[in-house]
Amino acid sequence: MTSLPTLNAEVIISHSSRRIQTEERATLKWGCLIIEAANGRKKDNFILLNDMTVRAQQNSPTLMLSHSELGKMWLTFKDSGEAAIWYTALDRCTGWLLADFYTDMDHIASGGYGDVYSATQRGTGARVAVKVFKSDPKRNMRELMYSWELRHENLMCAVDILLAREHAILVSPLMNVGDLQKHIRNHPNGVSEDKARGIYRQILSGVAYMHDQRIAHRDLKPENILCASNQDGTLVAKVGDFGTAAFLSSENFSSQSRR
C-alpha cells in the first residue's frame, strides 16, 4: 500500500456542537486529520480518523464527517473536485491497521511510555522506529504536536502520526546507534575531541532552532539524544522526546532560558 499524499486545502470548519464557523487549514496524515488555525498556529485538535465515517453528496463541495467523540463536522472545499480528492483520502484512512502501513516490525525497547519497534514503511522501504504509547492519545498530544511541527535535521521529527481511541503511534527515523547514553557507555575511554564537538554542535543546532520557535525542551539529557552512524563513520545526533516541551511567551522564555 503506497503512502497517501499530504493534502493541504483551505477549508471551512463548522462544528455543530460549538456552532462556530472559522477559516482553517487542514492537513491529512495517516490516521489523523490535523487542523490549524488561519494564523498558522496549530491547536490541540487532532481528529482520530479511526473513529470516523465520511459521507459525500454528488457534485457537492462539502463532506460530512461523523466522529465518535466530536459529533458531526462539515468540511467545505472550493469545488466538488477537491472535495472528491479529500473524500477518497479520508475514506482510505478510516478503519486502518498498523500493518497496512508498516511491515517487518521487531520489538527493540520498552519503557513507562510504551514500546518501540523497528519497522519498514510500505511504499518507500524506509526503516523507521514505531513508538506505541500505552496511554490515552490525548495524554501524548504535546509530544506528537512538537514532533510534527518542528522540522530540523537535528531534531527527531515525525515521519507519521497514527491515532486510535486506545493509543497513539509516533513514527520517526530509525537511529541505528541508539541514544547518546548508550553511545557513551560503549566508549568507556571516551571519544575524540573532534567527535565530541560534532555531537555538541548538532545538539546545540537543534536546540537553537527550538528556541527560535520559542519552544523550550526542558528535559535535555543523553537518553533523549538519538544517534545514527553514517557510512563514512560520522555520527548524526538528533534531540528527541518532546513530552515536556513547552511554548513560552517572550518574557517567560527569557526567564526560563536564564535558569
The residues annotated as belonging to the active site are 219
For the chain, what is the largest distance between any 2 Cα atoms, rounded to a whole number of angstroms?
A: 69
- The answer to whether 243 and 234 have CB atoms below 8 angstroms apart is no
Judge residue 198's burial from the number of C-beta atoms within 10 Å of its C-beta, 0-12 exposed, 13-18 middle, 19 or more buried: middle
Q: What is the DSSP string of 86-136?
A: HHHHHHHHTT--GGGTEEEEEEEEEETTEEEEEEEETTT--EEEEEEESS-
- Whole-angstrom Cα distance, residue 31 to residue 90? 9
Cβ 220 vs Cβ 180: under 8 Å: no
| Burial (CB count <10 Å: 0-12, 13-18, 19+), residue 84 | middle
CA dist., res. 234 & res. 227, Å (int): 10
Burial of 28 by CB count in 10 Å (0-12 exposed, 13-18 middle, 19+ buried)? buried
213-238 CB burial, b ≥16 within 10 A, e <16:
eebbbeeeeeebbbbeeeeeeebbbb
